[in-house]
């Protein structure tokens, strides 16, 4: 791959050199590109004319330098339109989904069905000799390919946990797309831009060859090829130089695209995460709740009543059925069960992060007097981070690898507080100290890959605490950690409960963790809570057969009993 990168670098240097020479043409060209000398027609390269002369005795080098201006300008215009429309529409389609995705998909289908060259010629028939109109049209029509590439990349990136974390922090969709999603698609985008640039240059020179873009006698690379073709037997040098510069630039753009592709393929692939989407898809159900049903139950911080979740018509059976539980302030409640029992989807649904197609089909959830079920985007932004925080299973994928810890903490604090820049830095350091990290200055400067798993999990907890929430949903917070680090994280959760009065919903499959830290336990099987008791009572005298099976599958707990 090193060789390919060296070649791509050399190609980029050549492109930059040609662009610089063309830009400096008024100052470095030896002759006026329109100056004729009929006594020096079709001369071979010489000291006076380094690349010879054309059919009217005009200096070939000067015309190449000036002719590059319309060629490269037209290419740049097409490239700008291609990039802007392709990236914008691809981001919107991939991230927002739904009717936006379908509408942009229809537009892409229409663009693909249109013959691009014919449309460009039709535009030139209306706007004669208008290079910009032609290249804008060409750039927009061909952006359909970039839209599909960006959309596909965004569909994968939006499943990453760090995107979910940004949503939970209450960041708006536009900021998430620009800051967290767009950097992840730069590799594929750069490849497409490099390849399109060659195609745009080819179209521009083709139009120049036909005399449709730059009117003679003004120089253009395509026009010079057309003139050289008519005298190629008398003076082959003309075609070599004019065609050679076009071929060289097109080849360089292709090599740059190959180099960017190889670099992109060589990057370490981010580990996948659970897809989290915006908002519950159950607003019709929420609208149908009666006034009595919408009244929050009194007493508890979090109350879930008759709560069921299903996945669309394709999977009509409810994956979570008739849940009924509550969490008080300062209480740590464990939600325990085997993989696939519905623990995680229950926790995510409270934050409005159900996957596409999923919906709450009955019941409701409240945090104090605020109804979570079917809440609109504005309500969810007020809840996420401020009332409810989330700590995910794998902190490495919950934190954006492109930004430092300090940058990510600052982003959350900027969203959730009114602190100024200096105050946010102090607050970020205080948060890190509060979760047991003794060198906050170094950690704030570090990227996620520079920290250990335990440190990253503490950083995730600090981010979850940034908005001073009343409840933390901790989804398998110790699964990816070794036993020693697990104990430290559990001690931290206990201390936060004691010092802040924080409530915690601890989602886990590890009963040993539950026994260590939880006040109450909810045992979940096949989407139902089969047992709900105080932790001490449950471990001493389990009532449900499934609970007994879980306890017997944990040797350390069997010994204790």
Give, as one character, the DSSP assignment of residue 449.
G
The pLDDT, as a whole number, for residue 277 is 35
pLDDT, tens only, 467-477: 889 999 988 88
pLDDT by residue (tens digit) across 42-81?
Answer: 888 888 888 888 888 888 888 899 988 888 999 999 999 9
User: Which domain does 456 fall in, by range?
Assistant: 400-468
pLDDT at 297: 59
Q: Is residue 448 part of a domain?
A: yes
As a whole number of angstroms, the distance between CA 114 and CA 152 comes to 22
Q: Are strands 520-525 and 528-534 parallel, antiparallel or unpaired?
A: antiparallel
pLDDT classification of 1: cutoffs 50, 70, 90: very low
What's the length of the chain? Answer: 561
User: Which of 413, 439, 468 finishes a domain?
Assistant: 468
Is the residue at 309 inside a domain? no
d(CA 412, CA 218): 56
| Domain end position, chosen among 266, 282, 315 | 266
The most confident of 167-176, 253-262, 308-317, 437-446, by mean pLDDT: 437-446
In contact, 524 and 508? CB cutoff 8 Å: no
Query: Do 114 and 197 form a contact (C-beta atoms < 8 A)?
Result: no
115 part of a folded domain:
yes
- Number of separate domains in the chain: 2
The pTM is what? 0.60
Is residue 494 domain-resident? no
Are 74 and 217 in a shared domain? yes
Last residue in a domain, options 453, 468, 483:
468
- What integer pLDDT is reported at residue 480 of this predicted model? 64
Assess contact for 95 and 179: CB atoms under 8 A: no
CATH number of the domain bearing residue 94: 1.10.3720.10
- Lowest-confidence range among 205-214, 270-279, 500-509, 542-551? 270-279
Give the pair of three-digit tokens for residue 328: 């008080």
- The terminus-to-terminus CA distance of the chain in angstroms comes to 60
Position of tokens 């059925």? Answer: 321
Helix ranges, 278-390 (H) = 283-288, 291-294, 343-350, 377-383
Helix, strand, coil share of the chain (percent; to 5)? 60, 15, 30
Judge whether 230 lies within some domain.
yes
Three-state secondary structure call for residue 363: strand
């Amino acid at each position: 791959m090193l060789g390919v990168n060296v070649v791509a670098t050399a190609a980029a240097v050549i492109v930059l050199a040609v662009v610089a020479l063309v830009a400096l043409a008024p100052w470095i060209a030896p002759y006026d590109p329109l100056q004729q000398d009929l006594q020096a027609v079709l001369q071979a390269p010489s000291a006076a004319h380094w690349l010879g002369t054309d059919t009217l005795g005009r200096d070939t080098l000067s015309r190449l330098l000036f002719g590059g201006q319309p060629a490269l300008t037209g290419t740049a215009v097409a490239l700008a339109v291609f990039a802007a429309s392709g990236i914008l529409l691809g981001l919107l389609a991939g991230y927002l989904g739904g009717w936006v995705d379908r509408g942009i998909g229809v537009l892409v289908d229409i663009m693909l069905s249109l013959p691009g060259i014919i449309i460009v010629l039709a535009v030139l028939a209306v706007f004669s000799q208008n290079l910009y109109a032609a290249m804008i049209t060409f750039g927009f029509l061909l952006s359909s390919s970039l839209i599909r590439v960006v959309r596909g990349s965004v569909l994968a990136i939006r499943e990453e946990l760090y995107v979910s974390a940004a949503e939970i922090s209450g960041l708006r969709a536009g900021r998430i797309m620009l800051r967290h999603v767009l950097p992840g698609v730069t590799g594929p985008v750069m490849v497409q831009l490099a390849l399109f640039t060659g195609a745009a240059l080819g179209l521009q020179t083709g139009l120049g060859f036909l005399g449709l873009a730059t009117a003679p006698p003004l120089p253009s690379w395509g026009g010079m090829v057309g003139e050289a073709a008519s005298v190629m037997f008398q003076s082959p040098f003309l075609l070599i130089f004019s065609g050679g510069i076009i071929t060289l630039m097109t080849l360089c753009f292709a090599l740059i695209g190959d180099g960017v592709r190889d670099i992109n393929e060589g990057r370490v692939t981010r580990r996948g995460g659970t897809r989290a989407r915006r908002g519950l898809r159950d607003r019709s159900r929420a609208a149908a709740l009666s006034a009595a049903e919408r009244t929050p139950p009194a007493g508890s911080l979090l109350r879930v009543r008759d709560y069921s979740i299903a996945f669309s018509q394709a999977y009509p059976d409810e994956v979570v059925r008739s849940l009924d539980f509550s969490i008080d302030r300062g209480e740590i409640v464990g939600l325990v069960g085997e993989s696939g029992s519905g623990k995680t989807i229950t926790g995510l649904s409270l934050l409005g992060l159900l996957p596409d197609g999923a919906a709450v089909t009955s019941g409701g959830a409240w945090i104090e007097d605020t109804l979570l079920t079917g809440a609109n985007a504005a309500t969810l932004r007020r809840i996420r981070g401020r009332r409810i925080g989330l700590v995910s299973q794998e902190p490495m994928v919950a934190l954006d690898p492109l930004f430092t810890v300090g940058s990510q903490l600052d982003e959350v604090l900027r969203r959730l507080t009114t602190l100024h820049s200096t105050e946010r830095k102090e607050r970020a350091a205080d948060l890190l100290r509060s979760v047991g990290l003794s060198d906050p200055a170094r950690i704030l400067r570090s990227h996620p890959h520079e920290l250990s798993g335990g440190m990253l999990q503490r950083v995730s907890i600090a981010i979850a605490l940034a908005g001073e929430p009343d409840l933390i949903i901790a989804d398998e917070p110790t699964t990816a950690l070794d036993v020693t680090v697990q104990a430290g994280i559990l001690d931290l959760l206990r201390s936060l409960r004691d010092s802040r009065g924080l409530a915690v919903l601890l989602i886990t499959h590890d009963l040993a963790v539950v026994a260590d830290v939880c006040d109450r336990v909810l045992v979940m099987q096949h989407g139902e809570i089969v047992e709900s008791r105080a932790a001490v009572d449950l471990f001493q005298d389990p009532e449900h057969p499934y609970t007994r099976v879980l306890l017997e599958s944990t040797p350390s707990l069997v010994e204790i009993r």
